[in-house]
Amino acid sequence: MTIEYQKGESTLHNLDARTKILVFVGLTVVAIVIIDPLIIAALFIILYAFGVQAVDRDLLNRNLRVLVVIFSTFALFQILFFTPEQAHFLFYLVPGRPWIPVTVEGIIRGIAVFFRFFIVVLSVHLMLYTTPPVNLVLGLTRRERLKQTRRTVGIVLILGLIFFAIFQLQLLDRVASLPTDPALRTTIVAVASLATAYITFRVATHGLPPEMGLALTLGFATVGILSQQTIRITDAQKARGYNVTPKNLIQRVRVLTALLLPIFLATLERSQDIAIAILARAFDYNISNRTYRRELQFRLPDFVVMAIIVALMLGGMALNTAGIGNPTEQWILGLVAS
């Protein structure tokens, strides 16, 4: 199952590579924060709609179909082993034996777990499908060399507000337990939020070393080439009379050796050619001051997408803090109780 960049002009294709990286991280947090199965399923459907707009539907479904069984197993474990106190019992999995009770809460949480994993995996797929490997690596390594004080202060303040809201929503009890007056507690949380925002900004803008960025670029580019090379070698061995799928285990090991050896040699030869090309371009000379041909720049759609992700994350935390983070479960339990 290889994931290669697909050219296109969709909304996801036009987003900045750094935005798509942040979207992946943000959706991972959102998938953890939101526990309502209908809300998480709706988010998956929306994300899937953007995905089929950007990538061929059959290609996307073929890669996701492989994961249905795995995620269904995770959901099944949640259904079977999630039995909170005062849970609404449905039946026992083993008839005639009080073993492995299945509850209403377990089924609801199992459905949420299923879509939660799919959202994270689908966001990774869409990021790789709609982002050229070079731009993706630049998003991880390319950073501005000129220090812009106003921009830094503005970003730190915005991040500080986000962290302040997160601390207030997630650590409300701990903050309220501090032995100080409310004004001082608010000041402490604000200072901690700004400090966390500044550290996050410094870490995020530091970037990876150029050598690691080059390694990532070559890794992304090699996946597709290696896959095509494996297909060509397999076809060549078939043309020579090899049965590449024998039933006998010993014969399968011999055939595997006949396939792996030429693949390894071809990969080694390609690696030597790449090393010579890198040295010929003087990549190892004054790496810290190298320049970049491509420039990444945030635009209005990038800010809109990031604002939506932050709103989803804070909204999910607010619902959990208010005790209404799972309205579907509360509605179903109300029907069961009535």
pLDDT tens per residue, range 274-330? 778 777 777 666 666 666 677 778 889 899 999 999 999 888 888 888 878 788 877
Please determine, for residue 143, whether its predicted confidence score (pLDDT) is greater than 70. Answer: no
Instruction: Determine contact, residues 169/322, Cβ cutoff 8 Å.
Output: no
Residue spans per domain, the chain: 11-142+298-337, 149-206, 210-289
Instruction: Determine contact, residues 175/186, Cβ cutoff 8 Å.
Output: no
C-alpha 79/C-alpha 103 separation (Å) is 7
Which residue(s) pair with 102 in the sheet?
91
Could you please report the per-residue DSSP string of 268-317? Answer: HHHHHHHHHHHHHTTTTSSGGG---S------HHHHHHHHHHHHHHHHHH
Please determine, for residue 52, whether its predicted confidence score (pLDDT) is greater than 80. Answer: yes
Tokens of 28: 């991972």
**Range from 38-47, 59-68, 223-232 that averages highest in pLDDT:** 38-47
Q: Which residue blocks in the chain are alpha helix, DSSP H?
A: 11-14, 17-33, 37-54, 57-81, 104-130, 133-141, 149-170, 172-176, 182-206, 210-239, 249-280, 300-322, 327-337
pLDDT tens per residue, range 83-97? 666 666 666 665 666
C-alpha 335/C-alpha 338 separation (Å) is 5
pLDDT, residue 285, reads: 64
pLDDT tens per residue, range 190-222? 888 899 888 888 877 777 777 777 776 777 666
What pTM was estimated for this model as a whole?
Answer: 0.74
Instruction: Determine contact, residues 156/194, Cβ cutoff 8 Å.
Output: yes
Instruction: Determine contact, residues 259/237, Cβ cutoff 8 Å.
Output: yes
